[in-house]
Structure formats: C-alpha cells, structure tokens
Amino acid sequence: MNVNAHAGRAAGRYRDPWEIRKFLSLRGTNMLRIAKELGKYPQQVQETVRGTRNDREVLAKLRDMGCPEKYLSLPEDMKQENA
C-alpha cells in the first residue's frame, strides 16, 4: 500500500487521490460537482480527496457513488458503519 505524501498520520494517509479522480472522471463528474451537491466548498472536497482532511460527508458520498474503499482509506468509524 502506498503512502500519500500529502496526508498526515490519519486514515487519509493511504488515500489514493489519483484513483479517486479517475473514478469521478469515469462517472462523468468531478470534485466541484460533488462540492455543489453537498453544499460544501470545493477546497473541502479537494482536501478530503488528497487525504489532508477526513470530511465524513464527502467520504460517504464517494463511497455511496461506488468508489472502491481501498482508494478512500476510510476512518475506522466509517468502516464499522459500512460493515
């Protein structure tokens, strides 16, 4: 598993921003649209995708869209929620 150099020590450290972006692109959407749908600032979505933030709403939206959890590197409480 690769370490995300932009993230801290939290769950986002193993998040794969390029694969998440590729997933969104294949779905015909992008981070800006996700931000608008959730009523968030685009920076919040970008930081979550990069792994420097763990915004649970953004992560839940990506998971619900079908983004593989191995790319999201979800926090422990969200893993239990999904199980």
Q: What is the pLDDT of residues 51-61, one digit of tens each?
A: 988 899 999 99
How many Å separate Cα 72 from the centre of its chain? 5
- Given pLDDT bands bounded at 50, 70 and 90, which one contains residue 14? confident
Question: Contact, 34 vs 44, CB < 8 A?
Answer: no
Q: What is the pLDDT of residues 17-43, one digit of tens each?
A: 999 999 999 999 999 999 999 999 999
pLDDT of the residue at 80:
61
Question: Contact, 68 vs 14, CB < 8 A?
Answer: no
Kindly report whether the global pTM for this prediction surpasses the value 0.85.
no
pLDDT of the residue at 31:
97
